[in-house]
Structure 1
Amino acid sequence: MNYIKRALLSISRKKSKSLLLFLIIFILGNVMAGAIAIRQGANNVETNIKRQLGAVLTIEVDNEAIERASQENPGSPPEWPGPLQPDLLKTIGQSSYVKSFDYTTQFGLGSENLQRWMTPEEAEWSMNDTYSKFYGFQLKGTEYPPVMIIEEGKATLKAGRTFSQDEISTGVGVALITQQLADYNNLGVGDNIVLSNYILDYGETDGPMVEPTITERRDIPLQIIGIYENIESPEEPNQMVGQISKSELYNTIIVPNQTIIAEQQAMNEYYISQMEEELTEEQKAQAMLTYYTSLFILNSPDDIEAFKEETQALLPPFYKVFTNSDSFSIIAAPVQQTSKMASYVLMVAIGASILIISLVVMLFLRDRKHELGIYMSLGEKRSKVISQIVIEVVLVAILAIALSLVTGNFIAQGLSESMVRDQLIAEQDPFNPDPSVWEDQWRFGQFASNMTGEDIAENYRINFSPAYIGLFFIIGLATVLISTVVPTLYIVRLNPKQVLM
């Protein structure tokens, strides 16, 4: 009789043993299916979140590396690295991974005739606020004529136009302002505004704080060439963060970098001239350097690691590439912990399955050793005898695995989603956000992730997918095959006479 038919007859005739094997594989399969599903869910949430955020990177000083170097050599701490210069940033921006890039410098200015946008609450306590008077407006430079936030959909151009390359290169007095600031001051495209660079003397630092004396006021006339409106996130991770961000966003004025650099240098020259100690030429040159904030938009999130590796090789010591998804690992810690736990459970389940199924198959084969001995004494090849046993177990296993695929998925979905969601939301403190929220906002501004535990929870889904089904069947069947072949080899290695004795 064909060994395949013998396998089918053996399953149908020995129903109790087949059912017992089915139940064992089904129970173990549920554990493995649940563990795989949880891991897949964690991987999916990371992929989904990072694709939603896009691939936005910046280069900054690595404070942790400097701190480590200082601790390793406290007698000779490292010098603070100087700013990255435009030539290097342009070289990095020419990478094939980069879709677009910009580098900006910022400067706070006041104004005698332009009113700072404020909420009613802010207006009550900032009437005599020195900051609002002298630094109420944030000038943000750009080297990218289309303006990054507009091109990437973080803001919309409501009126006018963006910069020309000639305006960027020469630093002419043109600017883009927000819709809110324009409405607050009844301004439109073509109107002129005047900002003031106040060079201040704070006098003696000892004693009570007094309002500084204005030693010089440099007026910067600007023509409004465009009005834009920021596209705000539907939710802010923290109420205070939201208020600060809104005030800063609405009072930001975008200009060419060269406009800001001219004012920075004028102020630096004044303060250098007021120093009691004479600076060396090298110190003066260092003081006049401009610090830039870089921003790189990549073609795909899949390019992040390759770009970081390529860029890190070009950077001076103590500089590092940061991404707007770096905070994911902090905020999504409960998801990653659950995934790690599921990995351990999966490994234990596989080991336990191999051991338990091997013992069960071994017991079944001991009861059938005379049957197997007869097959071999009649001239049946050992390979066919092994194949018969394997087919019997695999057919039962396929049914058990298919059913446990469904039930294990539902069990994992019910347990992990509620557990992960509750833990994510429980760890979220709206009045004391994780420091990563502030760091993310500071580094990336409008490109910050503003990610919360609720965002992670919303994206945590356990669903059937070809990858999940394929992986589970591969792991399940491989486990069953290993469990079956080992005890089968023990039986068939014996001679027919020894088996029949």
Structure 2
Amino acid sequence: MNFVKRAGMSLRARKSRTAALLGIFVVICCLLLGGFLLEAAAARQETEAQRTVGVDVTIEGKRLTPALADRLGSKPPVTRYNPLLPLTAGAHGLDPLAPPEPKPRGGRGGGSEGGPLALRGVRDLGMLLPFAYGSAKITSGRGIVPQDADRAVAVIEKRLAAKNGLKIGDTVRVGSADGKRKVSVKVLGVFQDPRPDPSQWTPSNELPGNTLYVPAPVVERLGGDAAGLDEAVFRVGSPEQAEGLYAEAKRLLGTGDFAFRVNDKAYRDQVRPVQRVGALAGLIVRVIALAGVLILGLIVMLQIRERRHELGVLLSMGEKKWKLVFQHIVEAAVVCLPAVAVAALTGHAAGPSLGGALLDRPQRNTVAAGVPDAEVAPPTVRVDPADVGKVLGLGLGISLVSTVVPGIGILRLHPRSILADSE
């Protein structure tokens, strides 16, 4: 008789044991699928978090210029970048805030001699730490984004706007400290600096209320050669990518000529927990696979002991030993197939709640500059055909290993001794 047909008859004849074996396979396949689903969901969420959260790298150096910052920012690991160009400027038709106290005699001239306004040339206002962490906030309008590079716009402080009656869309004129160059800029947004007004004399361009943020080209136009780059901040996906950016900066700026600081706190807070869940899921898959081999191997071994008489009769009738081994493999594999189907249905139904329980949704990194970062996608646990295929392959592998290892004993059986012991 064909050993495949004989396997089917054996499963039908032992309905209770077949049902018990099916139940064990369902549990194993469900756990395996759960591990694969969590692993895949963690990988997707990690990729999304890297794209939206990332790691901020600050570079400072005398040789760093706006052109070199643009070259570094165009490298593939960099997703966002922001050079910062400070400049003191003069006000034309604009009444800047005045220090609360007169300048003391013999006191330092400070920055007031360079102009009463503090211009900050930026590319992406949302990457400045005060705005990124919410201490400075846009109260109306919006912040400066890379698309504003060719525009003459400005984001001004709330106190300066209130003193001059400025609102969104108004135009103000700023100029170089020597008055030779002037630029008209349109008010794009109004922000609030949390720092209070000082209680003693302070140079006008150091007062929090006299700060204007403009696109970097505006500062370059006003400052000329004096428009030096203070620092540049680059956002990459992970600390490993920051190492690649360091190598590129070293190539462009030279060894030891620049400072390189990595701020990966947000990355650690939001990405590392997801990585731990992914590692836990991988460990679950390995442990369940090993436990499945041991449990099913023990069950098959017990079945072989109980079916010694049946095996002895088949061997005495001339049946090949390897066919008996394959009969047990087929029996286990036939039970495995519906178990995978049940696991797939269970995973489809319970997947979302499983992801919500084990994968914390990263907090939204909302930039207070009026340009929020893309929201990190919530954890999604979905049953893909690839995951079901992995469970099926691993389940069949467990069936094979758990059957072949105990089945080695079948190869050592002798029909005469089996039948003699059974009498």
State which of 249, 253, 258 in structure 1 corresponds to 2:220: 258
Change (3 A) 1:28 1:192: closer
Q: Partner residue of 1:390?
A: 329
The whole-number CA distance in structure 1 between the counterparts of 2:350 and 2:96 is: 56
* Structure 1 residue 485: Cα displacement: 1.9
* Structure 1 residue 7: Cα displacement: 1.4
* Structure 1 residue 115: Cα displacement: 6.0
* Structure 1 residue 388: Cα displacement: 1.7
SS at match of 2:121: strand
Q: Partner residue of 2:3?
A: 3
Q: Partner residue of 2:152?
A: 175
Give the length in aligned residue pairs: 370
State which of 174, 177, 183 in structure 2 corresponds to 1:223: 183
The amino acid across from 1:106 in the alignment is P
Note if contact 1:57-1:322 (Cα within 8 Å) is conserved in structure 2: yes
Q: Partner residue of 1:405?
A: 344
The amino acid across from 2:24 in the alignment is I
Superposition map of 1:76-91 within 5 A:
84-85=64-65, 89=69
* Structure 1 residue 19: Cα displacement: 0.7
* Structure 1 residue 496: Cα displacement: 4.3
Query: Alpha-carbon deviations, 1:12-56, whole Å to 9, x = none?
Result: 1111111111111222333333333223322222233445x3989
Query: Alpha-carbon deviations, 1:323-344, whole Å to 9, x = none?
Result: 9x87243135554444444333
Query: Alpha-carbon deviations, 1:54-107, whole Å to 9, x = none?
Result: 98975537xxxxxxxxxxxxxxxxxxx766456754654565777997744234
The amino acid across from 2:214 in the alignment is I
Q: Partner residue of 1:114?
A: 94
Query: Alpha-carbon deviations, 1:452-482, whole Å to 9, x = none?
Result: xxx65x6112222233323332333323322
* Structure 1 residue 394: Cα displacement: 0.9
Q: Partner residue of 1:44?
A: 44
SS at match of 1:185: coil
The whole-number CA distance in structure 1 between the counterparts of 2:84 and 2:62 is: 16
Note if contact 1:405-1:472 (Cα within 8 Å) is conserved in structure 2: no
Change (3 A) 1:35 1:162: closer
The whole-number CA distance in structure 1 between the counterparts of 2:180 and 2:316 is: 103
Change (3 A) 1:127 1:91: closer
Query: Alpha-carbon deviations, 1:187-229, whole Å to 9, x = none?
Result: 869x6613575xxxxxxxxxxxxxxxxxxxx447532366656
Superposition map of 1:133-152 within 5 A:
139-141=119-121
State which of 58, 82, 85 in structure 2 corresponds to 1:105: 85
Asked if 1:16 corresponds to 2:16, the answer is yes
Q: Partner residue of 1:193?
A: 173
Q: Partner residue of 2:301?
A: 362
Q: Partner residue of 1:352?
A: 291
Q: Partner residue of 1:60?
A: 59
The whole-number CA distance in structure 2 between the counterparts of 1:184 and 1:468 is: 62
The amino acid across from 1:222 in the alignment is K
State which of 333, 346, 356 in structure 2 corresponds to 1:417: 356
The whole-number CA distance in structure 2 between the counterparts of 1:108 and 1:379 is: 100
Change (3 A) 1:98 1:328: closer
Q: Partner residue of 1:312?
A: 247
The whole-number CA distance in structure 2 between the counterparts of 1:36 and 1:162 is: 45
Q: Partner residue of 1:372?
A: 311
Query: Alpha-carbon deviations, 1:255-289, whole Å to 9, x = none?
Result: 42534655857xxxxxxxxxxxxxxxxxxxxxxx7
Change (3 A) 1:185 1:226: closer
Note if contact 1:394-1:477 (Cα within 8 Å) is conserved in structure 2: yes
The whole-number CA distance in structure 2 between the counterparts of 1:411 and 1:329 is: 29
The whole-number CA distance in structure 1 between the counterparts of 2:380 and 2:76 is: 34
The whole-number CA distance in structure 2 between the counterparts of 1:416 and 1:350 is: 21
Q: Partner residue of 1:273?
A: none
The whole-number CA distance in structure 2 between the counterparts of 1:129 and 1:493 is: 103
Change (3 A) 1:339 1:306: closer
The whole-number CA distance in structure 2 between the counterparts of 1:85 and 1:17 is: 76
The amino acid across from 2:154 in the alignment is I
Give TM-score, length-normalised by structure 2: 0.65
State which of 382, 399, 402 in structure 2 corresponds to 1:463: 382
* Structure 1 residue 358: Cα displacement: 0.8
* Structure 1 residue 139: Cα displacement: 2.7
Change (3 A) 1:19 1:29: same
Change (3 A) 1:12 1:127: farther
The amino acid across from 1:252 in the alignment is Y
Query: Alpha-carbon deviations, 1:128-147, whole Å to 9, x = none?
Result: 499xx9798653436xxxx6
Change (3 A) 1:136 1:404: farther
* Structure 1 residue 362: Cα displacement: 0.8
Q: Partner residue of 2:108?
A: none
Note if contact 1:139-1:254 (Cα within 8 Å) is conserved in structure 2: no
* Structure 1 residue 418: Cα displacement: 3.9
Note if contact 2:49-2:270 (Cα within 8 Å) is conserved in structure 1: no
Note if contact 1:115-1:184 (Cα within 8 Å) is conserved in structure 2: no
Note if contact 1:176-1:255 (Cα within 8 Å) is conserved in structure 2: no
Note if contact 2:312-2:418 (Cα within 8 Å) is conserved in structure 1: yes
Asked if 1:483 corresponds to 2:396, the answer is no
Superposition map of 1:265-280 within 5 A:
none
The whole-number CA distance in structure 2 between the counterparts of 1:188 and 1:220 is: 25
Q: Which 5+ residue runs of structure 1 have no aligned equivalent?
A: 62-80, 118-125, 165-173, 198-217, 233-238, 242-246, 266-288, 429-436
